[in-house]
Amino acid sequence: MAALKHRLQNEVFTPGEEVLRAFVRVNKRGGKRKKTDFLCIAATKMEPIQVSLYQVRKSEKGTFKKKTSWTIKQLKAVDGKDSGEESKDFDLILEKTFKWVANNVYEKTAFIGQLWKICNKFVPAQNVDFRNLNNSLKKLLLNANANEADQQQDAILQVEGVETAEDYQELTTAEEADLQAMMSKFDYSITNAELFTEKLSEELIALDGANIQTIMNAEQGVIDLVEYINDSVKELDGVEDKLSYYSELLKTVEKHMHQMSSINDHMIVEMKNYNKLIAEVEAIVERFDLPEEYLTTLAEASVDDEYALPKCTEAALAAQIALKSDSKPELIRLNAVSEQFQNISMHCTKFKKRLKERLISMFEKQGSTFEFISVGSSGEIVLPKHAIRHSKLLPYAQLVLWLKEMDSVMFEDLCNAYTRCISKRYEKELHDYFEKIKKVFQKSNSDSKVFGKQFINDTLAFVVSVIPLITLILFLPLMIDVFNTATKSLKNVDIRSGIHNSETSGFDKEVIAKFGKVFGILLEGLGSYVGHEQDFITEFFHLPVAIILLHDLSHDYVLTAFSLQQQINEDTIDSSGSVAESRRRLKEIFPSLDSDMANLIKAGDKVDPSISLHMFVRVSAQIKSHYGYAQGVASFYSKLIANWLVTVKRLFDGCVTSLTRSFDDYKISKKSKCGILPFVIKFEEFAEEAETIFKGSDRRGDLDKAYSRLFIAICAGISRVALEHPKTPKDVINFENFHRLFSSIARLKITSLENERKEAKENYQFYLNAYITSMLGRPMENLNTFIDGLENLLASGVKAEEVGFQLAYNKQELRKIIKEYPAKEVRKGLDSLYKKVEKHLCEEENLLQVVWHSMQEHFLRQYNNIQDLVKRCYPGSNITLEFSIDDVLIYFSNIAQSH
């Protein structure tokens, strides 16, 4: 074993600077392979010391090699498998269980013992579990002293005739030096081995004799030592007797101490129970023992007196604490507590009835009270303010909350009574207000049955200058009535086609702009007015405050009208009924607000579809101002404004659709030349108005989409009319209208239509060139035909100097053709051309001089081309046309001026 350990140390662990502490020969239990492995425990030489477990295998060549390694910290338990009888089996529990069979029981015992010592020394905190060990190992593990444990281990192994894992010890330096000195005295050859053995025997005998002599000389000392030991034993016996006596005395004292400790524990528990009982009784008394003053107040105090309200509130809250606080059922069953509970409940019931009757009486009085609206000398109409009514009810807010928590059914009845009574007052005030407004405007018009342009102007001006902001909500039905009546009386507005004549329309842009301003003020007033009422009912009835925050408002705060409405509905669901409760109450108070505004929007659109642009921008602006934050008013008003946004968005889309349909349905006039098409002019007017309305609006994207739709419809309409018109050439219709279209876009600086502007300009230039080519054609036809022949000859490879030798293209033929086109005939032809162009073009667009100038440039290009070819093919012939470039310029200029 020592030699094997020495070999393992040198071959396996010395290269890694480790020291082998213990090993055991093993086989895997249950495995088919019977080859022996070695489980080794090794520690590093350098600080800090690291201990590891290794599985070492011997190869076929006889060398040892590490196969698997674990740190000692990975070891969780060791199972010795010796619970019944000794066994060679044992398990090491690491990340999984490894089952081994040792070579013999003694090696297994020695290995586990060393493993235990190493675990206690290097990982004591890990507390490795050693279980199912034999008796000898159990005794070893129970000994706390490490040195004693080593001695016991050595003794066990010596008794059993087993070599320990630490049998082998290397010679010290001194021992090695003595051995070398002794052996140097002899010859190392094999022939002196017998002499060397004899010498060693002689020295051993001498040493034994010396040891015996030393023992004999120390005999007296041994005798004295034995006597000292006997005396010590006697003294120890005496001390042991005294300790036994004292122990008997202490047993009696211990018994008395246990009795005293038990009594003390009982006293502590009794005191705790007593204190808890006192605290519970005091809490019950404090809770249910209401002052007689409180009970008297609940039973007799008048809730009509506002000075008595603080006392009533204080008494009611105290009673609420007594009745609503959490109590154990056992306490309520006590006779005294039960009687007091019923007494307080009876007083609270009486107080709740009186409070409900008082508040309903106030609601009915406020609902039936109606102050007739009067018109002052300045024409100002003043509505009763509800702030005074609110101030009379607010002192009862704390008691209403008390009622809500004490009796939900009675609280619901109270809320219903409020909405029922107050809605009647609003209805009366609204009706009287409308009547007064109608009378004021009827006086300002001689014919009250006909509402014309002046009446609408007066109405709008009155709304802007006279009506207070908070009362604008009441003006909705009046505006609807006015616009519906005006729509019937104004016959010059072609709503069906969507094309309006600005000179004959019943409403000019100024009036429509005023309406847009009034509509914006109306929307702002609605939010404020609804907010004031909801603030009151939220505070008075203690309704939950709704929080609605719309997403991505910083980028596109409405996205689309339909997505906004859908998001508000989703937020309503997510708010656990708080929004629905607040919205339901306000809807009962203002039942017709949503429909009145929708009717107003539709009535305005019937008067003039362009009003929908104003309404679309105004409603969108209100979305932005009301949804950057959203609490209170958002719960009800957000739903309304989302509905209105859907309505105006549909009207806006309808306006655009109506325009595009009018472009498609335009009927061609066959009696006169075409000129600028009406729908091109309408688009220009629409764009001018829309740019003013949408300036600074975040709804610019919707307008840009509308522009794109209209541009496509206009292009299609221009092309259709150009093909169908019987009198005006199609190129004229195209370039005149495309010129007007791209000029309008450029003038208005509509950046979203930049590509469309370029497209319109390209179409204008294309059709202008086509018209010039078709009208100017090939002046001096025979001459141009001759020139074409020259160009064909040059293209076929004939040299310019040889062209004159061709029979058909000699100088005589050229001179003959030139004589056909004297200056007088050329001027006459140009004059006739100008008259035709003037007849085709319209005066509105003023493109005659542009076209004439382009024709001049086209004619000059032909002239220069003829002159160049003549010079190249007939050099030195001095053949030229009978008129010069200056003559041509004079002809074009004189013709333009003469007309």
Note the pLDDT of residue 672.
74
Residue 185 has pLDDT above 50, yes or no: yes
Question: pLDDT class for 716, splitting at 50, 70, 90?
Answer: very high
Contact 111, 22 (CB under 8 A): yes
Beta bridge partners of 375: 381
A 10 A CB-CB count for 359 gives: 20
Mean pLDDT of 800-815: 84
Contact assessment for residue 69 and residue 52, using Cβ atoms and an 8 Å cutoff: yes
| 342-365 pLDDT per residue, tens | 888 888 888 889 999 999 999 988
Whether 619 contacts 637, CB under 8 Å:
no
Q: What is d(CA 884, CA 892) in angstroms, rounded to the nearest whole number? A: 13
Read off the pLDDT of each residue in 242-271 and give the average, rounded to a whole number. Answer: 86
State pLDDT tens for residues 506-533.
456 776 777 777 777 777 777 777 778 8
Q: What pLDDT, in 10s, does the model give residues 84-106?
A: 677 888 999 988 888 999 988 88
The pLDDT of residue 158 is 42
**Residue 341, CA distances (Å) to 124, 147, 322 in order:** 66, 79, 8
Report pLDDT digits (tens) over 423-447.
Answer: 888 777 656 654 564 454 344 333 4
Helices 848-873, 823-840: axis angle to 10 degrees equals 150
Q: What integer pLDDT is reported at residue 853 of this predicted model? A: 92
**What's the rounded Cα separation, in Å, for the pair 823 and 820?**
10
Across 413-428, average pLDDT: 86
Is the pLDDT higher at 621 or at 135?
Answer: 621
User: What are residue 129's DSSP bridge partners?
Assistant: 77
CA distances 714 to 667, 681, 742, 797, Å, are 14, 10, 12, 51
Segments in 444-508 forming alpha helices (H): 453-465, 476-489
515 vs 753: which has the higher pLDDT: 753
Given a cut of 60, is residue 191 above it in pLDDT? Answer: no
What's the gap between Cα 20 and its chain centre? Answer: 64
* Structure confidence at residue 376 (pLDDT): 46
Query: CB–CB of 444/458 below 8 Å?
Result: yes
pLDDT given at position 555: 37
Residues 544-555: pLDDT tens digits? 765 544 443 333
Q: Tell me which of 15-24, 186-195, 683-692 is least confident.
A: 186-195
Tell me the C-alpha distance between 599 and 477, whole Å. 8
- pLDDT reported for residue 759: 95
Of 724, 748, 744, 726, nearest in space to 736 by CA: 744
**What's the pLDDT score for residue 626?**
64
Average pLDDT along the chain: 77
What is the full DSSP assignment across 773-814? Answer: HHHH--SSHHHHHHHHHHHHHHHTT--GGGGGGSGGGSHHHH
The model's confidence at residue 476, banded by pLDDT at 50, 70 and 90, is low
Regarding predicted confidence, which is higher, 477 or 450? 477
Q: What's the rounded mean pLDDT across residues 861-877? A: 87
Cα–Cα distance measured from residue 157 to residue 114, given in angstroms and rounded to the nearest whole number: 12
Does the pLDDT value for residue 889 go beyond 60? Answer: yes
Mean pLDDT of 438-457: 42
Confidence band for 883, pLDDT divided at 50, 70 and 90: confident
Query: In whole angstroms, what is the distance from residue 157 CA to residue 163 CA?
Result: 7
Q: Give the per-residue pLDDT at 59.
A: 85
Per-residue confidence band for 715, with pLDDT thresholds at 50, 70 and 90? very high
Q: Give me 66's structure tokens.
A: 């590490």
Q: What's the pLDDT band for 148 if we cut at 50, 70, 90?
A: very low
Q: Do 372 and 519 touch, CB atoms closer than 8 A?
A: no
Cβ atoms of 105 and 87 closer than 8 Å: yes
Among residues 162, 43, 36, which one has the least CA distance to residue 100? 36
Q: What are phi and psi of 83, to 5 degrees?
A: -65, -35
Confidence (pLDDT) at 559: 43
790-807 exposure pattern, b = at least 16 Cβ within 10 A, e = fewer: beebeeeebeeeebbeee
Helix, strand or coil, per DSSP, at residue 56: strand
Over 60: is that where the pLDDT of 861 sits?
yes
* 499 or 806: which leads in pLDDT: 806
Least reliable range by pLDDT among 5-9, 449-453, 809-813: 449-453
- Residue 39, pLDDT score: 93
